[in-house]
Amino acid sequence: MRLGLIGLGRIGSFHARTLTDLPAVDSLVVTDALPAVTAEVAGRVGAEAVDSSAELLAAGVDGVLIAAATKAHPALLLAAVDAGLPVFCEKPVARAVGDAVAVAERARDSGVPVQIGYPRRFDPVFRAARAAVASGELGWLHTVRSTTLDPAPPPAAYVAGSGGIFRDCTVHDIDTVRWVTGREVVEVYATGSSRGDAFIAEAGDLATAAVVLTLDDDTVALVSNSRYNPRGYDVRLELHGSADSVVAGLDDGLPLRSLEPGAAFPAGPPHRSFMDRLAVAFRAELAAFTEVVAGTRPSPCTIAEALEVAWVAEAATRSLHVHRPVRLDELRSL
Ligand SMILES: NC(=O)c1ccc[n+]([C@@H]2O[C@H](COP(=O)([O-])OP(=O)(O)OC[C@H]3O[C@@H](n4cnc5c(N)ncnc54)[C@H](O)[C@@H]3O)[C@@H](O)[C@H]2O)c1
């Protein structure tokens, strides 16, 4: 099949390499707002370069992937949907939940399949965590702890355009909690700190966040995020139930140094970034999209599900500002 990829920055250039390695992909057309970036990535992975997203949508592609900056997602998603092309879009759908609602409605009405990029759904260990919950072997869950700690903050311009840490980073944890437990979030309490590089506070953003999610079966989920974890990339999910407790992400690459005398775990080296920790997941995610394009499977992460995540991130943002827990039904009725 012939695919188009829009946006060739940090994640887009990584996806370009993965896509050209997939057996289902015969040809790849790429574009970025920066022509030099388009030329460099196209040359490096052996893709066809075009000058604009409009040109790409008209280049006879069977499906489109959007990995451009977050602020460009709604317009690009709508353009792909209007062209009737199955589309994969990196999280989040939009910076504002109102835009996400509008895009989701148009996508639903069009019937065009949309897959949103939440790669943990394709990580073998996170899949095992979901299976453990579904099997009942954990009993009833009382506590979920979801952790995402980045080694270092993204560039200042990225932070300023990201929509804030809840919409940019916490959304991964929110999606994971919903997907693994199969439950909906009913209430959110969020707090955090901007301590770190000045550009984070200047963008009105947090460098470190803590979010308490109450689920509709009274499970409590605790989310921990930070942009400052120089030991490595820490993505972990703990599930504590009435019968057993399990964890995803407790491997030898866990970026934590034990202070127990003689402890040999974790043996290291620590995961350096989400790209090495989740490389298998990203490949499986994009392979799944080729099946969506081929019409052999439904979207494994629909825009409707991503919209629920967006509502929870919106509740976290509001909770931070009003400094109290925010119920989802209260937010939706505003
Ligand atoms: N799923 C994940 O784990 C994951 C990881 C990283 C980033 N992301 C998401 O991917 C997106 C990109 O992140 P990044 O880290 O690669 O950012 P980045 O800043 O490195 O790259 C963004 C690229 O998009 C290009 N661009 C901006 N507007 C465009 C437009 N209208 N048309 C074409 N190109 C355009 C920019 O020139 C730049 O090259 C963000 O939405 C981010 O949330 C997802």
Same domain for 15 and 94: yes
Helix (H, G, I), strand (E, B) or coil at 327: strand
Q: What is the pLDDT of residues 16-41, one digit of tens each?
A: 999 999 999 999 999 999 999 999 99
Same domain for 235 and 127: yes
Same domain for 10 and 34: yes
The atom number, within ligand 1, closest to the CA of 119 reads: 1
Contact 7 CB / ligand 1 (< 6 Å) = yes
Is residue 87, in this structure, part of any structural domain at all? Answer: yes
Is residue 165, in this structure, part of any structural domain at all? Answer: yes
In angstroms, what is the span from residue 32 Cα to ligand 1's centroid?
9
Same domain for 235 and 295: no
Is residue 278, in this structure, part of any structural domain at all? Answer: no
Same domain for 315 and 194: yes
Is residue 203, in this structure, part of any structural domain at all? Answer: yes
Contact 90 CB / ligand 1 (< 6 Å) = yes
Same domain for 38 and 185: no
Q: How many domains does one find in the chain?
A: 2
What pLDDT, on a 0 to 100 scale, did the predictor assign at position 177?
A: 98
For a pocket test of ligand 1, which of 5, 11, 99, 309 has the largest count of ligand atoms closer than 8 A to its C-beta?
11
For a pocket test of ligand 1, which of 6, 10, 56 has the largest count of ligand atoms closer than 8 A to its C-beta?
10
Same domain for 169 and 96: no
Same domain for 255 and 146: yes
Tokens (6 digits) for 242: 């009435």
Domain containing residue 292: CATH number? 3.40.50.720
Contact 70 CB / ligand 1 (< 6 Å) = yes
The DSSP bridge partners found for residue 179 are: none
Is residue 65, in this structure, part of any structural domain at all? Answer: yes
Contact 53 CB / ligand 1 (< 6 Å) = yes
Full domain range(s) for residue 201: 121-273+309-332
Is residue 213, in this structure, part of any structural domain at all? Answer: yes
In angstroms, what is the span from residue 275 Cα to ligand 1's centroid?
14
Same domain for 213 and 137: yes
Contact 37 CB / ligand 1 (< 6 Å) = yes
Contact 16 CB / ligand 1 (< 6 Å) = no
Contact 160 CB / ligand 1 (< 6 Å) = no
Contact 317 CB / ligand 1 (< 6 Å) = no
Same domain for 197 and 168: yes
Is residue 8, in this structure, part of any structural domain at all? Answer: yes
* Phi/psi at 231 (5° precision): -65, -25
Contact 12 CB / ligand 1 (< 6 Å) = yes
C-beta pairs of 98-105 under 8 Å, 24+ apart in sequence: 99/74, 100/74, 100/306, 100/307, 100/310, 101/307, 102/74, 103/73, 103/74, 103/77, 103/78, 103/303, 104/303, 104/304, 104/306, 104/307
The protein residue whose alpha carbon is closest to atom 26 in ligand 1 is 68
Cβ proximity of 161 and 209 under 8 Å: no
Same domain for 235 and 170: yes
Domain containing residue 220: CATH number? 3.30.360.10
Same domain for 90 and 185: no
Low-confidence stretches of the chain (pLDDT beneath 50): none
Is residue 316, in this structure, part of any structural domain at all? Answer: yes
